[in-house]
Structure 1
Amino acid sequence: MADLDALRSRWVRTLLASREDACFPDPYRYADALLRLWSEPQRRYHTVEHLTAVLDHVDTLREYAADPDVVRLAAWFHDAVYLPERSTNEERSARLAERALPEAGVDPERTAEVARLVRLTVTHDPADGDRDGEVLCDADLAILAAPPAAYAAYTAAVRQEYHFVPDAGFRSGRAAVLRQLLGLPRLFRTPYGRREWEAAARANLSAELAELTRPAGPAQPENTSPGAPPAP
């Protein structure tokens, strides 16, 4: 269970380090609003536990970032809007950041960078030299390198989020996501990610893809419309 008070404190430290001065609204109101979003009932994987994990990974990778606090802000917003049946979550989350951060006292340049980073999580494919993008994407994808039991829990939670998608459609959509990830030259861009996470993540993805594409026995036809592709 995530420690919500600790998360609120982490938000306040990051916001105060990122904004121009103290003459702005109470930072805790933004923490509470974001945590309400992250605690919505439709979430099974994209929860406050996921937020905590991504923030922890950003801290691990902070030496590689150009501006670690901007990356932390992007982590808070990257799945703030999350409806599994929609394909516009990243865009809506970025727009939320563009509205909330200036009101909270963050300057336009940093706000724009946060929004850019949130939109980058659509592809998890930052350009070479995009240090902040590399850190956020590595932190978000670190679950892919989890030990087998934790990886199985992650995939089960993703399936629960997409409970409304028939099994054949889910398997097809999820397999497409896995192929896209495996097709990247590198899943992880930071030196730490390449060293510590790359091999394990590829093994997990390959094993899951093999299971998803294993021929099934005869079954009754079903609606295979996948809806929004099951996300990482």
Structure 2
Amino acid sequence: MRKGIYFMMMGLIGMVGCQRNTSYTIINRTENFSSINGKCHVEYNYPLLLQGKGDTVSLALTGIRGIEEFERFIQRFSEGDSALSVHVNYEVLTEDDTLISIEYLTKMEGHALNIYHSVTIDPRNMKRYSLNDLFTGDFMGVIREHVQNYTQQNRVDMDFITFEQEAASAPKNFTITPEYLQLYIGAEGEFHGYHRLKIPLKELSLKQGSPNLPK
């Protein structure tokens, strides 16, 4: 029986990384629960954003999405398994007053692929960024070249036309690091990806008025 993941808080585990000069603090939470009619055990680590005024916001998995979608996602991979063990971990890649970028990694027993989710948001209003919010010029042309090279070299199937139509203006599965734009690809039509593709930020033009990306 599934337990309410947003409401079953298992306790404060510790701070994530070093203290930053920001108007918020990121706190780690760990929960253990059973899912899929008790068949599936999940160890679920995710961050809480503690704002300066004392409010907390869950940044679980893809941020604002409901856990029911994650349950359906797990169920697809658990078919036929009597006891599936799932581990969800995350890493804060960028953290400042205008941008938080978090990579989530889900590993499932018996499932060889890494499964990536992400959230890149403005901590002031919790708005999820799109690529169009951050970059200007022919940034999709740069992305296209990297994606085509990666998919050809690694034999990854990807419908780039659909990706290109949706990725510019809609929040997609990407993160920002001090050196790279990271895309998570290989699962079109989904909110996750199986491959991490790194594109150097120096190859992209930053949009005027966008957040200060890492230098």
TM-score, structure 1 as length reference = 0.25
Structure with the largest fraction of helix: 1
TM-score, structure 2 as length reference = 0.27
